[in-house]
Amino acid sequence: MGQMITLTAADGHEFGAYQAGFADAPRALVVVQEIFGVNHHMRAVADGFADAGYLVICPALFDRAERGVELGYTPEDAKRGIDLRQRIAHEGTVADLLASAEAPGHEKVGIIGYCWGGALAWAAATQTTRFAAAVGWYGGGIAATKDARPNCPVQLHFGADDDHIPLTDVEAIRSAQPGVEVFVYEGAGHGFGCSERPSYNARATAQAQERSLAFLQHAL
């Protein structure tokens, strides 16, 4: 239901983004990709939020390294995604997120991300002042900056059985950020929200999505 558009970051970098929803949607949301690019799953996620009444921008963050990347979920795909991420300066990625926030033309814009995108949603909340709300699903590495001050309301979701993010990290985040909503889902692993991955957990996904939508609706 969406389409690819071209956006330009403050440093002049042009990149693709998947846009879904109507221009007059009451709310706007930046959806941030996993380490696998703006693939079939991320477009479906964007479409789902569009159906919920959002104008959605899902930026192709890998375009700074290689354009048009759409990966699957094999170990080889994961390795390639990590390699691409390492070729991109964090400052460039943040610039792309900020450009994506401007695209809808809404004063208030939310951000939600998954995997790498979950960590980027936290970065957007703590390193910029553009977003009115941020949601992260299984964002790795957040514990390393757990003491950073969010500039907007934040909600985080983790799987209790995530082999990439130990529960000690989750508890460290919870302790350092009493104002942040942190949810942990029993029996859920990394990537539990992606139906195309073996770790998909329908129960955890439904509960996390319900909480995310309620949080975003209240904040935006």
Residue 160, domain CATH: 3.40.50.1820
Going by pLDDT thresholds of 50, 70 and 90, the confidence category of residue 100 is very high
Q: Are 137 and 52 in contact (CB under 8 A)?
A: no
Instruction: Give me the pLDDT at residue 109, please.
Output: 97
Q: Tell me what percent of the residues of the chain surpass a pLDDT of 70.
A: 100
Residue 35 has pLDDT above 90, yes or no: yes
CA pair distance 159, 216, nearest whole angstrom: 21
- Cite the active site residues: 115, 162, 190
Half-sphere exposure of 5 (CA within 13 A, CB side): 15
Instruction: Give me the pLDDT at residue 1, please.
Output: 76
Q: How many domains does the chain have?
A: 1
Query: CA-based angle 170:220:128, to the nearest 5?
Result: 60
Instruction: Give me the pLDDT at residue 14, please.
Output: 97
Mean pLDDT of the chain: 96
Average pLDDT, integer, range 27-31 = 97
Rounded to whole angstroms, the maximal C-alpha distance in the chain is: 44
Q: Which two tokens stand for residue 37?
A: 């690019």
Instruction: Give me the pLDDT at residue 138, please.
Output: 97
User: Residue 44 is part of which domain span?
Assistant: 3-219
Instruction: Give me the pLDDT at residue 114, please.
Output: 97
